[in-house]
């Protein structure tokens, strides 16, 4: 093996700054997408559980379509097809706010929300129906019953699976490089192109992804334990 390893080239100077910039973009696109996908996934699940057939068909179609098509295809679909399927006002907003980044958030949010919706639905199903009926009997509307009684319990039940979805979203954000988002993988690829040190660049990027995933998992687990302790008391 004659390869001359040179780790300092990616750990110092301009290339180090590129990796840090890429990590910041990865954190931004992942964080925004996590929040939006949670909101969208919760809305989809709530609409599906209303019992209204038309809403049930629409939400099931949404979930099945986006869960069963590759994320990469969805990224390209929104990147090249947003002009055709989105209103002009939305497209103007996308172009005005870093088009590639905005499209990456859009694709990651929609894709992940389909999985989150199913996780939340599984949590709702595990809660006895009598709780919903009792909350409705006290005068709460359907939305209020879900917001104050059903969903808080469902979220506690599905936290472990939601952690997995958040981690998957963070790793899936690397695909955004294909549409020009300058996240961590994109920057590692740029370093390889300029320095021909692909092994070092992608090894450091891999370690950064591992650390990021472990930190996310640790933070959510700590929050979960503290939250459960508060519930007990």
Q: Please report the pLDDT score of residue 139 as a whole number.
A: 83
Residue 33 in domain: yes
Within-domain flag for 41:
yes
Q: Which domain holds residue 212?
A: 8-232
- Residue 35: inside a domain, yes or no? yes
- Which tens digits make up the pLDDT trace of 80-115? 988 888 888 888 888 888 899 999 999 999 999 999
**What pLDDT is stored for residue 230 in this prediction?**
56
Residues of the chain with pLDDT under 50: none
Non-local CB neighbours of 79 within 8 Å, separated by 6+ positions: 100, 103, 107, 179
| Model pLDDT, residue 69 | 94
Query: Looking at residue 174, what is its pLDDT?
Result: 94
CA dist 85 to 110, 176, 215, 220, Å? 15, 20, 37, 36
Q: What's this model's pTM, rounded to 2 decimal places?
A: 0.88
In a domain, 110, yes or no: yes
Residue at 78 is within a domain: yes
Q: Is residue 202 part of a domain?
A: yes
| Res 1: pLDDT | 59
1 within some domain: no
- CATH code at 12? 1.10.3720.10
Looking at the 3D structure of the chain, how many domains does it have?
Answer: 1
pLDDT, residue 35, reads 95
pLDDT recorded at residue 173: 95
Is residue 51 in a domain? yes
- What pLDDT, on a 0 to 100 scale, did the predictor assign at position 172? 95
């Amino acid at each position: 093996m004659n390869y001359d390893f040179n780790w300092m080239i990616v750990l110092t100077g301009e290339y180090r700054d590129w990796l840090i910039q890429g990590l910041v973009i990865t954190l931004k696109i992942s964080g925004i997408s996590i929040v939006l996908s949670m909101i969208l996934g919760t809305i989809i699940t709530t609409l599906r559980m209303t019992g209204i057939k038309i809403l049930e068909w629409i939400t099931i179609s949404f979930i099945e379509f986006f869960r069963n098509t590759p994320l990469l295809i969805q990224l390209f679909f929104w990147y090249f097809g947003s002009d055709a399927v989105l209103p002009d006002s939305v497209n103007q907003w996308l172009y005005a706010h870093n088009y590639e980044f905005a499209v990456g958030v859009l694709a990651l949010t929609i894709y992940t929300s389909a999985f989150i919706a199913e996780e939340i639905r599984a949590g709702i199903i595990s809660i006895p129906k009598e709780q919903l009926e009792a909350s409705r009997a006290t005068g709460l509307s359907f939305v209020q019953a879900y917001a104050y009684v059903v969903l808080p319990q469902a979220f506690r039940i599905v936290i472990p699976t939601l952690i997995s979805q958040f981690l998957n979203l963070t790793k899936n954000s690397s695909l955004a490089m294909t549409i020009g988002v300058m996240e961590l993988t994109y920057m590692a690829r740029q370093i390889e192109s300029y320095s021909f040190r692909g092994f070092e660049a992608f090894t450091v990027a891999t370690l950064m992804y591992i650390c990021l995933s472990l930190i996310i998992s640790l933070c959510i687990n700590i929050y979960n334990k503290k939250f459960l302790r508060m519930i007990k008391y």
